[in-house]
Structure 1
Amino acid sequence: MQLQEKNRIKLERQLKDNGFEHAINYLMETTRQGVRCAKAGETDYIKPGRSRVGGDPDLPPQFAWPLTSDGTPMTFLAQLNMCDVAKHDVNELLPKTGMLSFFLGIDEPAYNIEHRVIWFDETEVLTAVRREPSGETALEDTYVGYDLEARPSLEPPGYAYVDMEQVENDEVTFGEYDDLFYEIRDQKDGDIIQLFGYPTEQHDDSEYEAALMILTGKEYEYSMDKALDEITAHFGGDKTKAKQEVTDMQMLLELETDDDVGFCWWDAGVLHFFIRKEDLIAGRFDRTYCSLYSS
């Protein structure tokens, strides 16, 4: 997705002000447009359907609480009111109305984690009410609910995805790029959710892992080449199509560890939800992939 003109102007100014003229073309091309959600105070549950992280979900009366494969209630993570969130999605990929809700099973192992992503239409959101689980959920803990406030963001490539040769030169170190990275993102203290952009990782292979499982049902064996071969075979030998699938893979949501809410993903890591661009446009939230990264 090309940057909006106002974002191009803002990013170009930041790059020049910080001495990164040599990397302008590269970072203009690779910086993505996303949405960030920050905590906006503990929820009071007075108005159902508001964007929320932690606590209890708002669900339509007849909707059955999502269960894991062994019948355990999944743990509610977050709900995003699309009227509030999608207006900040300059990529125009998210549903414009309704609500996206995220539930999780046991967060072990760190790949192919059992989960549910559910879109409720605007009629269902109007009937939704606070619902508590019938018993202990998969993560065996309770979490404090916080309202969320969304805003647009710029997301340059981080450690795992950046081309060091493009951003470093004789005068600029990677440490200086790291400072610029956080300045461009304009990250706030209360940020807990990121939609789109780049996943927080040590390696740049999360999209391969997600695409492989969603398309073929096979687990990733820590080889991008092998994953690409499997995806290519899925498309009848069309390697161009396979590469495009990986390129188009979207990070639907990244959820941070947060002391206020009570989330802690292993050693203070992050939780990732991925979706194919084609499925996102079609509203196929039953075709998502969940994984966890922790250093």
Structure 2
Amino acid sequence: MSLNIPVEFQDFADEIIASCKPSVPFTLTVAPTQLWDSKVGGKPYLPRDFAYPNNPDGEPLFFLAQINFAQMSALPDFPSKGILQFFIDGKDDCYGINFDNYQDNSHYKLIYHADVVENADELQQDFDFVQFDETDSGVPFPPNHSYQIYFQAATPQPITQHDFAFGEVVPELFDFLDEKSEDDDYEWDLHDKYDEFSNSEQHRVGGYPYFTQDDVRGYGSYDLKDYVLLFQLVSDWRDSNDDVNIMWGDCGVGNFFIRPEDLKNLAFDKAFFTMDCC
């Protein structure tokens, strides 16, 4: 495995390399997409006989994103085909998350289509019944925006310092950074450098997560410790209002997690969703 480990962390190279997981980072661009393409926002892929997902009050959920796995580099245990979709509650200021029970997915839905029809005539195209605007508190980007997902190659990602298991997986590196942080004159430059090296604040599929606060799997949520990162969408904004403009609260991040066995079994309805912000 080839990793360009910064000189400051070379003493911990063995445990950093051992921590690596394969991940597919991606970027976003404003570009036309087909109904079956990987995208954030826009019109979702839905066969004509498929019901649009609603919240418990019967209101349509907000289409967040979809991944067409045939358009993405292969990842272990992830499907090689099909479309996985993410819908959240755009009318809820918590995006549909129940912070007292993360596994309560009644206000958000993950839908997996194993077989993909690439014929627009056989798919739903009229979504005028789904009405959101920028004043809705659970909408992380303008409802009329759609961003094409551009997948990068699958790459090994070192564990991020935001992951609850950081101290257990790379204990010597953890102790090194922890000791530095106790210095009154320390400006957190090494922590920032490790963040950059681990590419933590990046849209991605698989790998390790980024948080602005704490990893919810690591405190009080002992039944969540075996979940792994499925999909991460970070805040991402550009200079123009017509360009990419994603904002989770105050510069936050949205993460979906799943148990490894549920991922292998394509049981995406058992994933959980969380968001945190500054």
Map residues 68-147 of structure 1 onto 2, 5 A cutoff: 68-85=55-72, 87-89=73-75, 92-105=76-89, 106-108=92-94, 111=99, 112=102, 114-124=107-117, 126=119, 127-137=122-132, 139=138, 142-147=143-148
153-162 vs 278-287, which deviates more? 153-162
Map residues 173-184 of structure 1 onto 2, 5 A cutoff: 175-184=189-198
Query: What is the match of residue 217 of structure 1?
Result: none
Give the 3 Å change call, closer, same or farther, for CA 130–256 of structure 1 in structure 2. Answer: farther
1:60 aligns with 2:69: no
By how many angstroms is 1:134 displaced?
A: 0.6
Out of 240, 250, 262, the residue aligned to residue 267 of structure 1 is 250
1:278 aligns with 2:261: yes
Q: Matched residues in 2 for 1:125 and 1:134: separation?
A: 23
By how many angstroms is 1:144 displaced?
A: 0.9
The number of residue pairs the alignment matches comes to 243
Identity among equivalent positions (%) equals 23
Letter of the structure 2 residue corresponding to residue 176 of structure 1: L
Q: Matched residues in 2 for 1:36 and 1:130: separation?
A: 29
> Does the aligned pair in 2 maintain the 1:102–1:116 contact within 8 Å?
yes
TM superposition score normalised by structure 1: 0.71
Out of 165, 168, 172, the residue aligned to residue 166 of structure 1 is 172
> Does the aligned pair in 2 maintain the 1:99–1:125 contact within 8 Å?
no
Out of 215, 231, 246, the residue aligned to residue 253 of structure 1 is 231
RMSD of equivalent CA atoms: 3.0
Say which SS state the counterpart of residue 146 (structure 1) adopts: strand
Query: What is the match of residue 206 of structure 1?
Result: 216
Q: Matched residues in 2 for 1:48 and 1:31: separation?
A: 34
Query: What is the match of residue 240 of structure 2?
Result: none
Q: Matched residues in 2 for 1:129 and 1:261: separation?
A: 25
Query: What is the match of residue 219 of structure 1?
Result: none
> Does the aligned pair in 2 maintain the 1:143–1:263 contact within 8 Å?
no
Runs of at least 5 residues in structure 2 that lack an aligned partner in the other structure: 238-242
> Does the aligned pair in 2 maintain the 1:273–1:288 contact within 8 Å?
yes
Give the 3 Å change call, closer, same or farther, for CA 277–267 of structure 1 in structure 2. Answer: same
TM superposition score normalised by structure 2: 0.75
Say which SS state the counterpart of residue 268 (structure 2) adopts: coil
Give the 3 Å change call, closer, same or farther, for CA 205–38 of structure 1 in structure 2. Answer: closer
Say which SS state the counterpart of residue 122 (structure 1) adopts: coil
Runs of at least 5 residues in structure 1 that lack an aligned partner in the other structure: 1-7, 209-221, 232-244
Q: Matched residues in 2 for 1:72 and 1:288: separation?
A: 21
165-174 vs 271-280, which deviates more? 165-174
Give the 3 Å change call, closer, same or farther, for CA 203–29 of structure 1 in structure 2. Answer: farther
Give the 3 Å change call, closer, same or farther, for CA 123–150 of structure 1 in structure 2. Answer: closer
285-294 vs 17-26, which deviates more? 17-26
Q: Matched residues in 1 for 2:126 and 2:82: separation?
A: 18
Query: What is the match of residue 194 of structure 1?
Result: 204
Q: Matched residues in 1 for 2:98 and 2:156: separation?
A: 27
> Does the aligned pair in 2 maintain the 1:36–1:195 contact within 8 Å?
yes
1:30 aligns with 2:19: yes
